[in-house]
């Protein structure tokens, strides 16, 4: 367990030392949250930390920077339980920062004490702690340097310029945990990358790709085949979205599963789907095409499809019973069917199903296409460029495929790659 003693929000040095004495018999690692202002008051001294003489002092210039340093230390030591000694005002403020900078992986136990010592002082802030926390965290994260290089996206030459699109890679973000570094684009309560960090990663992607400040509209993954027609009542979960509206960026996540983008340049209709092995067998790709046809009058022959970074047959295996279901799509989807855990080519399965549904072979850009710049590398084979559940285990990061309908003025503006 870690212990955080909050000095910023009113506790005097003597009361700080008393808190440390109360916890002196435990094996907990103690952090003193004091900020740089209290260092300069002349009353705070490392001597007060006895018997915790090695307690790390979080004395950076702002609350958010102190807490970010605390989180980095916890993550480095793989700690998740934190006891916090603070005041009522301190708890009110720290809870807002906690919501932004931590996830449900971390457990906070607040020990709140009233300020009864004459030397203790209350917070001087009178504004909303929630709004201030959001502004402080956003400002702090925006000034952090990019990790692993600059933001980089893959673009399919098959998708016309009347649409904006791309497939993200893992470089250029601020996530520092090894399996999530650095442009992780999904925050999960079960992982250590918090919402604010992921939001900053999304902001950097949006600026690079040219769709800022449009919102990213993510599919709510269920590993099935339901399609949401944007603008209608939104289901609780779905693996695909279709739309003919400007002003929104359809987004499909992937970390071995395929982010698949669909575009009809004739009707100006788009779609984005998440296709794992279950969704592939359930036909989520053709369900997306069929939704474009049924809801917007698209012709299947006009629809182009780009398949993003995903796990290749080289690295993806299933139990034999599950793998053999793919032989019903095409025998070549399972190159070693006699194996106890056969390899499975989920990208080939999607191509076969799309072509059976009427999508023209030349209108599909995947790993089989050699005459165009590649957009479908194996995520597991390229750890420097892509996140992978197969390779990294449960604490994996997420890249995305994204697509939007450009306004008329956008269609002549250059974008970065």
* CATH value at residue 183: 3.60.140.10
The answer to whether residues 300 and 388 belong to one domain is yes
- Whether 83 and 2 have beta carbons less than 8 Å apart is answered as yes
Same domain membership, residue 165 and residue 134: no
Task: Give me the domain span that covers residue 40.
Answer: 2-142
- Give the residue with greater pLDDT, 253 vs 117: 253
108 and 197 share one domain: no
Q: Is 106 in the same domain as 131?
A: yes
Supply the pLDDT for residue 293: 98
Same domain as 184, residue 82: no
Lowest pLDDT segment from 54-68, 138-152, 171-185, 395-409? 54-68
Whether 344 and 195 map to the same domain: the answer is yes
- Both 221 and 368 in one domain: the answer is yes
Give, as one character, the DSSP assignment of residue 215.
P
Mean pLDDT of 182-193: 95
Residue 46 has pLDDT above 60, yes or no: no
Total domains in the chain come to 2
138 and 157, same structural domain? no
Residue 289 lies in a domain: yes
Structure tokens at 118: 């004459």
Q: For residue 112, what is the domain's CATH number?
A: 3.40.50
Of 47 and 200, more confident: 200
* Residue 89: closest CA among 45, 117, 124, 118: 124
Does residue 148 lie in a domain region?
Answer: no
Evaluate whether 37 touches 9 at the Cβ level (below 8 Å).
no
Of 114, 142, 170, the position where a domain reaches its end is 142
Q: Distance between CA atoms of 179 and 414, rounded to whole angstroms?
A: 33
- Count CA within 13 A, CB hemisphere, residue 376: 25
Prediction pTM value: 0.91
What is the pLDDT confidence band of residue 20, given thresholds at 50, 70 and 90?
Answer: low
**How confident is the model at residue 47, as a pLDDT?**
47
Lowest-confidence segment of 128-142, 242-256, 288-302 by average pLDDT: 128-142
In the predicted structure, residue 290 carries a pLDDT above the cut 50: yes
The predicted pLDDT at position 52 comes to: 47
Torsion over CA: 352, 357, 361, 366 (sign): negative
Beta carbons of 306 and 159 less than 8 angstroms apart: yes
Residue 147 falls inside a structural domain: no
Q: What is the rounded CA–CA span in Å between residue 140 and residue 68?
A: 10
CB atoms within 10 A of CB 36: 12
- Residues 133, 165 within the same domain: no
Last residue of a domain, one of 119, 142, 165: 142
116 and 157 in a single domain? The answer is no
Higher-scoring residue by pLDDT: 154, 11: 154
């Amino acid at each position: 367990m870690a212990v955080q003693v909050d000095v910023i929000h009113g506790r005097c040095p003597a009361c700080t030392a008393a808190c440390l004495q109360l916890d002196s018999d435990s094996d907990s690692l103690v952090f003193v949250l004091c900020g740089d202002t209290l260092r300069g008051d002349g009353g705070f001294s490392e001597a007060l930390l006895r018997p915790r003489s090695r307690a790390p002092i979080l004395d950076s210039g702002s609350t958010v920077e102190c807490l970010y340093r605390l989180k980095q230390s916890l993550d480095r030591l793989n700690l998740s339980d934190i006891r916090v000694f603070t005041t009522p005002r301190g708890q009110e403020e720290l809870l807002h920062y906690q919501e932004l900078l931590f996830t449900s992986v971390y457990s906070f136990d607040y020990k709140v004490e009233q300020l009864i010592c004459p030397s203790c002082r209350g917070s001087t802030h009178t504004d909303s702690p929630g709004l201030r926390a959001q502004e402080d965290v956003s400002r702090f994260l925006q000034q952090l340097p990019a990790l692993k290089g600059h933001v980089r996206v893959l673009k399919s030459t098959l998708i016309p310029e009347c649409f904006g699109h791309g497939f993200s890679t893992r470089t250029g973000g601020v996530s520092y945990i090894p399996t999530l570094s650095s442009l992780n684009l999904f925050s999960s309560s079960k992982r250590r990358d918090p919402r604010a960090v992921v939001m900053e990663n999304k902001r950097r992607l949006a600026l690079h790709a040219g769709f800022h400040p449009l919102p990213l509209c993510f599919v709510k993954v269920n590993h099935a085949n339901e399609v949401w027609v944007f603008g209608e009542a939104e289901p609780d979960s779905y693996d695909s979205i279709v739309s003919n509206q400007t002003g929104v960026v359809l987004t499909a996540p992937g970390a071995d599963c395929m982010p698949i983008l669909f575009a009809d340049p004739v009707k100006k209709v788009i779609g984005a789907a998440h296709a794992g092995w279950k969704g592939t067998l359930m036909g989520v790709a053709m369900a997306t095409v069929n939704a474009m046809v049924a809801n917007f009058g698209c012709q299947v022959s006009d629809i182009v499809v780009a398949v993003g970074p995903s796990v290749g047959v080289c690295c993806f295996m299933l139990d034999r019973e599950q793998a053999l279901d793919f032989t019903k799509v095409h025998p070549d989807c399972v190159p070693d069917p006699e194996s106890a855990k056969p390899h499975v080519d989920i990208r080939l399965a999607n191509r076969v199903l799309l072509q059976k549904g009427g999508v023209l072979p030349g209108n599909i850009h995947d790993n089989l296409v050699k005459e165009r710049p590649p957009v479908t590398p194996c995520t597991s084979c390229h750890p420097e460029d892509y996140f992978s559940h197969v390779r990294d285990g449960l604490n994996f990061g997420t890249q995305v495929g994204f697509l939007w309908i450009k306004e008329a003025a956008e269609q002549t503006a250059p974008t970065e790659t």
